[in-house]
Every structure is written in structure tokens, then in C-alpha cells.
Amino acid sequence: MPNYRRAFVSGGCWFFTVNLLDRRKTLLVDQIETLRRAVSATRQSHAFTIDAFVVLPDHLHAVWSLPTGDSDFSTRWRLIKNRFARALPKQEALNAVRIARNERGIWQRRFWEHLIRDEADYARHVEYFYHKCLHVPPQWFAPPGNQDYRSLLAANRNPVRRAEDPKTLRYKDFVNKGYVIAGSPATVRERLVEEVIKRLHVGNLMLLIQIGSMPHELTLKNTELLAREVLPGLREIWDDKGWENHWWPRSLRGARQTVGAAR
């Protein structure tokens, strides 16, 4: 996670990736004028500077600079998405969840963002780890008996888990390919929920939130951000299933105390 708390960063320069829900569609280029009007209307009501904007058929990238004292890019993207969706006829297929929430099926709910000025601090440590520290023979990554048949099939079908030389990859590759989950606390929380916890049905996470080359202050900041802004959004995900966590100490099971209560 970058070295910042999203709620307190103002006037920052941000990089965004925003995707269509159906990545096979070409709505963004087919309806480029609609998108341009949605962005323009949002800039009039919530000012921001566009430093770069790249529109592809199924997703877009943007670099924005927000005004001093303002860090609310989430509202701006919500307005852009809503204005774009409202201008299109309701022809997309909707699942039961979106119907119940009265949502359109145009955009993915989340988006990815990075605070540009801080990303370099983490990029060099991630690259150092994968380029310098993984001196392990490749056959040791998959010893006999470590995976059952279904797991082997999943590994073969999932490009993230195919054998790849990490020394050829850069920080962006590690993030995009799923080697590393990084970004703002909101992005880390959303990716952990969608790509790890729900997709893999994970109940206990073991996270590496420091790399040996990271300075002490940066490691402490990363730990604090995880504890305060990521973990509280993960703790109750499976509570409604009624499962018992046999790995959790018995003395800590049961009702969970409120986190961050006033002192």
C-alpha cells in the first residue's frame, strides 16, 4: 500500500484504471461522446485536472490532479459512471444482486488507483525482492505431493500461476498479474475481498506487509494502514455462514469487540 491515508491526502496526483463489467464489449469507444460529456459534466460540478486520459474499448486509464484540500476522487468516478450509464439504453444482462440493488451492469464496481508520488517508494522494494531475493530452484516451488489434481488443473488454467521469470517483470507487472496486491487501502481491501477471500474462499490470511529492504518507518506505516483501513473491512465477510474458525484461539472466539471506539 502507498505511504498515505486516502482520507487525508489532498491535491494529489492519481493514476486510475476503470473497467467495464463485460470486458468483451467496446462501449467506451462506441460511446466516446457520451463518456466525454459525463467527464465534462463532472468536472464542472467537481473540479479536477486531467493530466492524461486513455480510452480503450473495455477500460480506461486516467491521471488526475485534484484541487488543494480535496481528495474525493471516489465521488467523481461515481458521478462519471452514473452519468455514462444513465445515457445508455438498458440492454445489458443483470444478475440478481444488481437487480436487487437497482444497479446497471455497465461498470465494474471497483476501480484501481495509485498515488503517483508514493508508488516509487514501494516499487523499488517489490522489484528488489523478486529480482534479487528469490534464489530458489524452480522445482522447489511445486514439490511432489504439494498439490492435488484439481489444484494442478487450476494452476495450469490460471495464467497468474504459470511459471514465469520474475526477473523480467517490473512493479506494474507484479501488481497487474497478481503477484502483489498493492495500492491505496481501498484498492487493497477490495482486491483482497474479490480476488482472494471470495474467489478462493479464504478464511485466514497470512500477509507479507514488509520486505527486507523497506525502511523501518515505511514498514510501520504499511502495518498501520493495514490494521486501521483494510482489516476492519474483512473481518465479518464470512460471519453470516455460521462457520467455526478452528484455527482461531478459543479465548478470542465469540462476540467481536468494536474497533476504534472513542477513548
**Residue range 102-120, pLDDT digits in tens:** 778 888 888 888 776 566 6
Which helix (H) or strand (E) segment is 155 a member of?
helix 149-157
Does the pTM surpass 0.75? The reply is no
Smallest Cα–Cα separation from 161: which of 153, 171, 170? 153
Higher pLDDT, 77 or 117: 77
Which overall architecture, per CATH, does domain 6-109 show? Answer: 2-Layer Sandwich (3.30)
The arithmetic mean of pLDDT across residues 90-100, rounded, is 74
Residue ranges of the domains in the chain? 6-109, 117-252
Cell representation of residue 233: 473491512
**Residue range 42-66, pLDDT digits in tens:** 999 999 988 888 899 999 988 888 8
Cross-strand partners of 64 = 14, 50
Smallest Cα–Cα separation from 98: which of 21, 18, 192? 21
Cβ(13)–Cβ(117) below 8 Å: yes
Residue type, 24: R
Query: Rounded to the nearest 5°, which phi and psi values hold at 217?
Result: -65, -40
Residues 6 or more apart whose CB falls under 8 angstroms from that of 73 comprise 14, 16, 48, 64, 66, 113
Residue where the block lists cell 465477510: 237
Cβ(176)–Cβ(114) below 8 Å: no
- What is the C-alpha R_g of the chain? 21
